[in-house]
Structure 1
Amino acid sequence: MNKTHWFRIYVLPGLVFQSLVIGGGYATGRELVEFFLSLGPRQGLMAMLVTAVVWSLVTAASFEFARSTGSLDYRSFFKNLLGPFWVVFEMAYFVLMLLVLAVIAAASGAMLHQTFGIWPPAGTLLLMGSIGILTFFGSNVIENFMSGWSFLLYAVYATFLFWGLYEFSDGISAAFDTAHPDGNWAVAGVKYAGYNLAVIPAVLFCLRHTERRSQALISGGIAGLLAIVPGIFFYVVLVGFYPEILQDPIPVSTVLAAFGATWFGLVFQIVIFGTFVETGTGLLHAINERVERNLVELGRVMPRSARPAVALGALTLAIVLGNQLGLIKLIANGYGVLTWVFIATFVIPVLAWALKNLLIRNTVNPGDKGTR
């Protein structure tokens, strides 16, 4: 096995998963504060470790389920997993997609306006154009972009951590040493994991390189770690600003301003914008894969030009509904319900399947091409 093939099997799915989680979740630091730091520095870190474990378990089980059933688009995946109830997940996924797309579109416009003085709608259009180009060229180009950008992201987050430890070590140490009442950190970790696991359907397209059970399980385990490490880097620096940072709507802006280095702020914002592009592309590519599978079953072929059309149509719908109908606020108010829907329709069923088919000795999987 050459290095490129090894990378596509074991590392690429995790990098795609990580890209979707960061752009759709903790890129601004708000979710890290909301779900973790609000529990107290130590309890929040424990909750993040719970999230990592849940992510690794569910991604490993999901990757093996997708491989063994040949379900590389989310419609096939959930029809095989849930039977006639697969539409429940699709409705929840569609709601999540609209929310995330509306948020990253608004955040892109605001971020580029704040950083470069660009007219906010121009930033949103730049995001739309980037997503349209990537979805037009399809899976291979999307894989290459996501993996390459992820390495840049890791480098920036590592710099963020080491610089933050150098500048704010006293505040970080003091916050971690302060006693806090025990919060429900285990539940918080599971809830955050459950919500973000809903992006796994957007990762399925890159599992076409996976051929064996061991490959699926190892790559799934790696995925959970790849997704949480940048978050831990970010979290540790945020701890240095505790408890004032709890009320900050965009914590990353406060931290970057404290660094006092304009150039690093620019680099960080550019990397985050690229992560928004990754997130939108991944979510919309999953829709394209779902549509293409439908057309194949009908004996038809999806034109390449239809891919950016579908993607940009969905993105435009998300922006319009989010701005005009207050959809973002509506869905945000139902956030807890959405989380438990994903846990009930995805996390529990796929883990139950794993217990039945992977953890019971001598179970034979007819779709397995090899267990080593």
Structure 2
Amino acid sequence: MKNAVKVLQIAFTYIGTVVGAGFATGQEILQFFTRYGKWGALTILLSAFLFIWLGTKMMLLARSIKAASYEDLNRKLFGETVGKGVSLFTLIVLIGVNSVMLAGAGSVFMEHLGLHYQVGLWVTLICTYLLLGRGIGGVMKLNSVVVPLMITLSLAVIINTAGSPGAARFFTLSTDSGLAAAWTSPLMYTAFNLSMAQAVLVPIGAHTESRKAVIWGGILGGAGVGFMLMAGHFALSAYMPGIVQFEIPMGHIARQLGATIQLVYILLIFMEIFSTFVADVYGVTLQLKQRLKVSPRLISLGILLICYLTSQFGFSSLLSVLYPVFGLFSLVWAVMLAMYRQTGDGRD
């Protein structure tokens, strides 16, 4: 029973870390999968397989080397010097992405709840700081609440879409994009999300005693991400191509389920932003703790302050430069992880 609870906690944290705001709004699913029409469902299956395989492998490797943070994993994959550089680049991108997520939390409060933008920022920052004091256990417990709600909403969306006239369109939807682009897209998507998720998955693997719990947590987590991708793709396909015009396409679909479901969906978007934000800040804190001889609390405060300041001025222009570079880097990183061979029982 103890192992079963641990497996679910790992799986839910894995799902919650990957399923951020871009995923929740539907934009990521639209851009990486649904735009490729009938190929979308098959490429989601490929993506789910990669999430299961590489996510589990990452956690097992972290467990075998007793990694203190994702920097230890990168040193193992790339060597001492290159590994440090890779971790530093990942750190910059993670802080940038978290600044955008924090700004997104402020926007949810302002646009959908009628509260001031700054209220959203400060609620997120204060709750994050309080939760970080609970360590990886706090991160996992948060996701154990948020992710089941996300899965429930996904099921509601599937049931609603199944009764619509375009329910079968994800089998027949045409696309102007080439086959090479369609099959490259899931590789980029999975590599990018796994390289970001290492900030959380590495400490989870390192802190889990049971190897079986890590394996089954990785399998369920990767499959869960695949299920949520498929649910979103199924719903979005039914409303193509008109759904492309909406900034939050899944929000438009949720609106059709009634005012209560729409409010739940909006709160869920915030919770997804919050859970990913907390997890990433925790991972970055662990990495900086290896480099700086100051207390983790002080490091976390510093990271939150940087995120707050950059969320005021916008980070989108810098991210537009960093994202493509980080995307290519993620592919190299994922290939290195895939090619790494462990010996014996998984302990190096």
- TM-score normalised by length of structure 2: 0.90
Q: CA deviation at 1:243?
A: 0.7
- Is 1:101–1:315's contact at 8 Å kept on the other side of the alignment? no
1:173 maps to which of 153, 163, 168: 168
Is 2:91–2:284's contact at 8 Å kept on the other side of the alignment? no
Q: Is the CA contact (8 Å cut-off) linking 2:63 and 2:208 kept in structure 1?
A: yes
Query: 1:189 & 1:44 partners in 2: Cα distance?
Result: 9
2:106–2:118 contact (8 Å) kept in structure 1: yes
Paired residues of 1:203 and 1:282 also in contact (CA < 8 A): no
> How far off its partner does 1:139 sit?
2.4
CA offset at residue 213 of structure 1?
Answer: 4.7
Identify the residue that residue 360 of structure 1 maps to in structure 2. Answer: none
Q: Distance in 2 between matches of 1:7 and 1:62?
A: 21
Q: Give the one of 50, 54, 78 matched to 1:54.
A: 50
Q: CA deviation at 1:26?
A: 0.4
2:33 pairs with 36, 39, 43, which one? 36
Residue of 259, 274, 296 corresponding to 1:262 = 259
Verify the 8 A CA contact 1:101 1:319 in the aligned structure 2. Answer: no
Counterpart Cα distance in 2 of 1:179 and 1:291: 47
Q: Is the 8 A contact 2:63 2:205 kept in 1?
A: yes
Q: 1:11 aligns with which of 3, 8, 13?
A: 8
Residue of structure 2 in register with 1:364 after alignment = 344
Q: Give me the whole-angstrom Cα distance separating, in 2, the residues matched to 1:37 and 1:242.
A: 9
Residue 226 (str. 1) matches residue 221 (str. 2): no
Larger Rg: 1
Q: How many residues align?
A: 344
For 2:78 and 2:159, the matched residues in 1 are separated by: 45
* Alignment match, 1:238: 236
User: Is the Cα contact below 8 Å between 1:92 and 1:342 reproduced in 2?
Assistant: no
RMSD, aligned CA = 2.3
CA contact (8 A) 1:14 1:227 kept: no
User: Deviation of residue 251 (structure 1)?
Assistant: 1.1
Match of 2:190 among 193, 213, 216: 193
Structure 2 counterpart of 1:220, one-letter code: G
1:78-135 deviation per Cα after TM superposition (whole angstroms, max 9, x unaligned): 2222222112322331232123212221221111222221111111111111111101
Match of 1:26 in 2: 23
1:350 — aligned with what? 337
The structure-2 alpha-carbon separation of the partners of 1:179 and 1:129, relative to structure 1 and needing over 3 Å to count, comes to same
Greater shift in the superposed pair: 327-336 or 27-36: 327-336
1:76-225 mapped onto 2 (5 Å cutoff): 76-83=72-79, 84-166=81-163, 169-174=164-169, 176-180=171-175, 183=179, 184-198=181-195, 199-208=197-206, 210-211=208-209, 213-225=211-223
Distance 2:287 2:134 in 1: 16
- How many angstroms apart in 2 are the aligned matches of 1:174 and 1:220? 31
Distance (whole Å) between structure 1 residues aligned to residue 207 and residue 200 of structure 2: 15
Structure 1 contact 58–350 (Cα < 8 Å) conserved: yes
Tell me, in whole angstroms, the C-alpha distance in 2 between the residues paired with 1:246 and 1:312. Answer: 39
Rounded to whole Å, the distance in 2 between the matches of 1:247 and 1:77 is 41
**Cα 1:286–1:75 shift into 2, 3 Å:** same
Q: Structure 2: which 5+ residue stretches go unaligned? A: none
Question: Do 1:89 and 1:342's aligned partners in 2 also have CA atoms closer than 8 Å?
Answer: no
CA distance in 1, matches of 2:171, 2:321: 31
Deviation sequence 1:204-254 (CA, Å, 0-9, x none): 222345345554333323221122212221221111210112232221222
